[in-house]
Amino acid sequence: MPVRMTETYYAPIQKELERYFYELYWKDILALLKKPLYNAKITALIDALRSGRVQYESGVFTGKFNVTISKELSAFAKYDGRAKVWRGFPPSDVIAAATVANDQGRKLSDMITQKIREIPSRVESAVGSLNYSIGLPLEKMSYEAGKDLSSLGISIDMTPELSKRLVEEYTTNMNLNIVNWSDSQVTRLRDMIEKNALSGYNRAELEAMIKSEYGTTMSKAKFLARQETSLFVTSVRDERYSSAGVDIVKWSTSMDIRVTGAPGGPNEPSKGHGNHYLMQGKFCKLSDPTIYADSLEDAKAGKWKSKSLLGAEPEHAGKAFLCRCTYIPTLL
């Protein structure tokens, strides 16, 4: 039975990464947004100015206008349908609300900027102590690989030394991903703050951008959990086979329409993820991921070909992004 990764392998790690990302990048920033800037609502227009849904500057109101807000504006301003703004000079209470809103928006931006500055040092101090639930994938993949070896009459247990090395490599790689993502996260957050400043410290716009960026971060957590765990279980599989003396393996796809390169399927070959449909049933060498043979007889005869001839990348099955392919161990 070919060894394949399943969602149960990476789901716990995804939750851990989501928690780490929240604690390291987002907790303090989201807490600032939860703090109310004002005590009471007065009118629909003033409330909109305070929330950032409407902005005022030099006799011009911009933003989102509902029926109630437009009615209030019509008392002292005229609507410019072409520019989609209201023009007019408001009473003192509206000017005061707009002034306070701008000031509060600037203060909020400054506080968030300070929290962004603290991210690199927080990540640096915490990343060494992060742990991941990789034990279950290690155990399951080692067990499944062991069953495949048993079908060949091979019985070799995975050594504690190998298990420790693979776990340490996984942890190091994942921590490095977090550090690298923190640099990207800080840059994106700074760009977000700068953009908001140019739009006049619009609180509603800022909250929308933060919500969108937070979603991007959580998507990154899922991507890293799935991709790194996929690479990990592939490494466990290959190490188990290699330690048993197996070097020739048979490529096995998921045999469905989603296999990259499948005729009429949704996934076309691309850079980093070549044609795997054509690799189905081909024989490969664990010691050299760049070559394949059309048959076991060709492999025995040393008739190896470059994977590039099939448009496949020079990697083992399971290494490409979201690859669901695997290997079946074979004896010459």
The pLDDT score that the predictor gives to residue 2 is: 57
Give residue 1's pLDDT. 52
81 C-beta neighbours (distance < 10 Å), count: 7
In contact, 37 and 241? CB cutoff 8 Å: no
Mean pLDDT (whole number) for 107-120: 94
Lowest-pLDDT range of 39-48, 247-256, 271-280, 312-321:
39-48
Q: Which parts of the chain fold into alpha helices (H)?
A: 7-21, 27-34, 44-51, 67-73, 92-126, 135-150, 160-198, 203-243, 296-300
Dist. CA 96–CA 226, nearest whole Å: 51
**Where along the chain do its domains lie?**
7-242, 247-330
Structure tokens at 167: 């776990």
- Most confident of the ranges 26-30, 42-46, 134-138: 26-30
Average pLDDT over all residues of the chain: 90
Indicate the pTM of the whole model. 0.76
User: pLDDT band at 176, cuts 50/70/90?
Assistant: very high
Which of 33-37, 38-42, 54-58 bottoms out in mean pLDDT, i.e. has the lowest? 38-42
Question: What is the average per-residue pLDDT within 63-89?
Answer: 94
Note every long-range contact of 177-181, with CB atoms under 8 Å and residues 24 or more positions apart, other chains counting: 177/224, 177/228, 178/17, 178/20, 178/21, 178/24, 178/123, 178/127, 178/130, 179/123, 179/124, 179/127, 181/21, 181/220, 181/224
pLDDT, one tens digit per residue, over 235-271 is 888 998 998 999 999 999 999 999 999 999 999 998 8
Asked if residue 277 lies in contact with residue 258, where contact means CB atoms within 8 angstroms, the answer is no
Among 19-33, 84-98, 141-155, 280-294, whose mean pLDDT is lowest? 141-155
Q: Is the pLDDT of residue 46 over 60?
A: yes
Share of the chain above pLDDT 90, in %: 61
Token duo for residue 181: 């993502």
Tell whether the model's pLDDT for residue 5 goes beyond 80: no
Q: Is the pLDDT of residue 190 over 80?
A: yes
Band (97; pLDDT cuts 50, 70, 90): confident
User: What is the band of 36 on the pLDDT scale with cuts at 50, 70, 90?
Assistant: low
Model confidence over 191-218: pLDDT tens digits? 999 988 887 777 878 888 999 999 999 9
pLDDT at 87 over 70: yes
